[in-house]
Structure 1
């Protein structure tokens, strides 16, 4: 399994956002993520698909 899981902080850095903005987007279900024990986690593959989908908007 070669799946990379990112934390909220890592996603914020990856997308060049503040952590607060990344958290808000995740909480509003605008970023593809899931919670583990109350903390947000994100699959890098899902984020890359989400980025591609944003180009079509």
Structure 2
């Protein structure tokens, strides 16, 4: 088996990884196109995709001063 294959993460794992609650993640999925996949009744995630989404500003506040903080 290829060791480079990333495992799927659960909602709970993503909550712990990001330090946010389920409601925040659900809002990001519904309103901000957070990469998530419905498998039956469960949400599954690839942490690498979540990281890329966050780095591209997906989770930033809409009126964010993000650009100023980074400089």
What TM-score, normalized to structure 2? Answer: 0.64
Question: 1:5 & 1:17 partners in 2: Cα distance?
Answer: 18
How many residues get paired? 57
SS in 1 for 2:56: helix
Pick the structure with greater CA Rg: 2
Q: State the superposition RMSD in angstroms.
A: 2.2
Question: 1:38 & 1:29 partners in 2: Cα distance?
Answer: 21
Structure 1 alignment gaps of length 5 or more: none
Normalized per residue, the structure richer in helix is: 1
SS in 2 for 1:35: strand
